[in-house]
Amino acid sequence: MKQIICAAVLAVCTFGVQAQEKKFHFGAKAGAQSTTITGDEEDVSARIGAHVGVFGEYMINDKFSIQPELVFSMQGADSDVEENVFGENYKGEWVKLNYLNLPVLVKYHFSGVKGLSVGVGPQVGFLLSAKQKYTTSVEGVTTEHEDDVKDNLKSIDFGLTAGAEYELPVHVFFGIRAYQGFMNINDIDNDKAYNSVFQLSAGYRF
């Protein structure tokens, strides 16, 4: 995984060096997001997280561009699970998943509305860490737990991302984006679990 990450960083940096020659733009972005886990997981709800990253955009022509990104993303879901097993009460709190995501978008720039663009493309995610918080209660004694569950999940996620951006004349832009994972990230049983993310971003394009 380290080799893939280094290659991605090198690619972005190489594009940046060639910016003047190839109509390439480099930038950074950050924002808030609502994330959850879909699939067979029923007792979950959305969790608020954040993301921050860098990108490079190569203009193919006036209407189309390709934009690879490198983004740190705080994902996961809040848990609503409550059950009693052999006299022990279990209550789920949350699952926190930190990913390093590499989306590559093909973007269309509207000529009639300067600064407005839409994009769609694949995204690969590398799981950096995974923690789960829950409480157990036996005979009135409540105990909080926070476990490392990275070994229970697949190290790679894959899906499709799409969204829209509007850039001001001062090169500041605002974006909205949705991601849906296609790969089952559960690695311990047959239950299916997929990452789902809705993002709001702001950034600057050099």
Q: Domains (ranges, CATH) in the chain? A: 2-205 (2.40.160.20)
**Average pLDDT estimate for 193-204:** 98
What are the structure tokens assigned to 90, written together? 């279990």
- The per-residue pLDDT of the chain, averaged, comes to 90
Residue that is written with structure tokens 């949350």 in the block: 94
- Of 83, 91, 107, 103, nearest to 164 by C-alpha is 107
Which among 158, 162, 153, 176 has a CA at the least distance from the CA of 76?
153
Report yes or no on whether pTM surpasses 0.95.
Answer: no
Chain segment 28-65, per-residue pLDDT in tens: 999 999 999 999 877 899 999 999 999 999 999 999 99
Nearest to 70 by CA among 123, 109, 106: 123
Residue of 71, 179, 74 lying closest to 119 (CA atoms): 179
Residues 6+ apart with CB under 8 A from 138: 87, 88, 89
What is the predicted pLDDT for the residue at 184? 96
* Percent of the chain residues topping a pLDDT of 90: 70
Percentage of residues of the chain with pLDDT beyond 70: 89
- Displacement of CA 6 from its chain's centroid (Å): 19
- What per-residue string of b and e applies to 129-149 under the rule 16 or more CB within 10 Å gives b? ebebbbeeeeeeeeeeeeeeb
Average pLDDT over residues 5-15: 51
The answer on pLDDT for 27 being more than 50 is yes
Statement: residue 5 has pLDDT above 80: no
Pairing status of strand 193-205 against strand 172-181: antiparallel
Q: What is the distance between the alpha carbons of residues 98 and 86, in angstroms, rounded to a whole number?
A: 33
The tokens for 119 are 């994009």
Phi first, then psi: give them for residue 17, nearest 5 degrees: -65, -35
